[in-house]
Homo-oligomer: A and B are copies of this chain.
Amino acid sequence: MDSSIPSPLAAMTSSEPSRVAVIGASGYGGLQTLRLLLGHPRFDVTFLGGERSAGQRWSSVCPFLPLPDDPQVQSADPDRVAEAADYAVLSLPNGLACQLAPRLLERGVRVIDLSADFRYRSLEQWNQVYAQEAARLNRTDADLCRDAVYGLPEWHGPAIAEASLVAAPGCFPTASLLPLLPFLKQGLIDTDGIIIDAKTGTSGGGRVPKEAMLLAEASESIAPYGVVGHRHTSEIEQLAQEVAGQSVQLQFTPHLVPMVRGLLSTVYARLRDPGLTAEDCTTVLEAVYRHHPCVQVMPVGTYPATKWVRHTNRAMLSVQVDTRTGQLILMSAIDNLIKGQAGQGIQCLNLMAGLEPETGLPLQAFYP
């Protein structure tokens, strides 16, 4: 192999850590990515990019996370990123990554995008779902959308390993799809009437101040939002349909919970075979995830709390069956900023670099 051609296997054999640029470093996604990479055995952060914080010393942005030599945050100039890094993790608001990613890819930088810009294979669908962003962008990168790999590592591992551009799914799709896909794939549940009642901590709303995310407003309260037609509905359905091989229609309702981190998805679906027990269904999940260390299937009757996975890259799944009603109840807990965002990005990065997917990722919570 010509050594000038970048290879997914290079990192594995080389003794040098790979170089990673983190773009959008002062937001929560970027901050988590940075924090996780600081403890990673095979990656070095070699470029810190930001927009609002460009030009500032890192210590003035995040006094609590000291970095060696206190680097300046830089604006994300593609040439400079390409010079400094082999990989770039983009943690930017929707509508920005699609402007930066092509220019990084051209320069040979492999990209993990944590935004929604490349999560749809069809640009047309993205334009519909993200109509507001689409209106001011007029994107022409339909090819890139089609080629980007959806970065759910437990389901798209080999494609991620080869990919130049990975669109890491967000917190709601991750938590909802992990327990649901095995049952769709095996045709064990009805593909309509699926209900996803999801609950998230407020850090999912990002670090830019919004009234609804103030402690004074959000604490001591729970409320639904985005009821009917939330953007993640179509993202979840897209994946569900690919795996089910048929049309899937589901109801997705997010709720805001008074906590910083954590996301719980409670999924309701009708079993096609009313004879299936909770134990049977647990076995279905175990069979799929046995060799996936970032997914843990709990024994029947043990229901996951988001605290159990806080600060980890682990999803905890549990199944219950109501034989009286024929309902399957799937419960899935993740840390929205790690397995639901930054950790997932690094899990993809690990695969791209030929490493074990869980390399450098925390899997055990500090309780309580």
User: Which of B66, B214, B262 is in CB contact (< 8 Å) with A207?
Assistant: B214
List of B residues within 8 angstroms of A260 by Cβ? 215-216, 219-220, 368
Residue of A31, A257, A310 with most chain B CB atoms under a 10 A cut-off: A257
User: Which of B205, B209, B266, B308 is in CB contact (< 8 Å) with A64?
Assistant: B308
Q: Any chain B CB within 8 A of the CB of A222?
A: yes
Which of A41-49, A86-94, A137-145, A295-303 is near enough to bind chain B?
A295-303
Q: Any chain B CB within 8 A of the CB of A333?
A: yes
B64 engages A220 (CB within 8 Å): no
Nearest B-chain residue to A268, judged by Cβ: B195
List of B residues within 8 angstroms of A262 by Cβ? 220-222
Interface mask (A241-274 → B, CB under 8 Å = 1, otherwise 0): 0000000011101010111111010101010000
Q: How many residues of A contact B (CB 8 A)?
A: 84
A325 engages B365 (CB within 8 Å): no
A251 engages B35 (CB within 8 Å): no
B202 engages A215 (CB within 8 Å): yes
B207 engages A222 (CB within 8 Å): no
A268 engages B251 (CB within 8 Å): yes
List of B residues within 8 angstroms of A65 by Cβ? 364-365, 367
Interface mask (A136-179 → B, CB under 8 Å = 1, otherwise 0): 00000000000000000000000000000000000000000000
With the chains together, A324 CA to B230 CA distance in Å? 13
Chain A stretch 286-317: residues in CB contact (< 8 A) with chain B: 296, 298-299, 302-311, 316
A258 engages B255 (CB within 8 Å): no
Residue of A31, A219, A366 with most chain B CB atoms under a 10 A cut-off: A366
20 contacts between A and B (CB under 8 A): A35-B366, A35-B367, A64-B305, A65-B367, A195-B195, A199-B255, A215-B259, A217-B368, A219-B259, A220-B261, A221-B306, A223-B264, A223-B303, A227-B320, A249-B325, A251-B268, A258-B258, A258-B259, A260-B368, A261-B368
Chain A residues in the interface with B (C-beta under 8 A): 28, 31-32, 35, 38-39, 62-66, 192-193, 195, 197, 199, 201-203, 205, 207-211, 213-225, 227-229, 249-251, 253, 255, 257-262, 264, 266, 268, 270, 296, 298-299, 302-311, 316, 320-322, 324-325, 327, 329, 331, 333, 364-368
